[in-house]
Amino acid sequence: MEQSKPANVQYSEKSRITAGILGILLGGIGVHSFYLGKTGKGILQIVVSVITLGIGGLWGFIEGIIIITGGKAVDGQGKPLKPNGAP
């Protein structure tokens, strides 16, 4: 069964690959969230990482992997990130 894609989807200008790599490398301090325009979430990720002495950094690491592998990801304005390989 073929899934139809919605026409005229307005994608974010933010890069899925960049967001994913930032999440994997610097997710503990929420850099990928700040990049995507989700400032509140980025601050929360910093607080969680400080309180848990760095263990909360797994949150950002896992999000980075999900973003790169094509999981549903949106920017701070709610626009979906372009699928990997999309122009």
Q: Over the stretch 5-56, which tens digit does the pLDDT of each residue have?
A: 556 889 999 999 999 999 999 999 999 999 999 999 999 999 999 999 999 9
| 3 state SS for the chain | CCCCCCCCCCCCCCCHHHHHHHHHHHHHHCHHHHHCCCHHHHHHHHHHHHHCCCCCHHHHHHHHHHHHCCCCCECCCCCECCCCCCC
Task: Tell me the pLDDT tens digit for each residue of 64-74.
Answer: 999 999 888 99
pLDDT number for residue 84: 73
pLDDT number for residue 83: 82
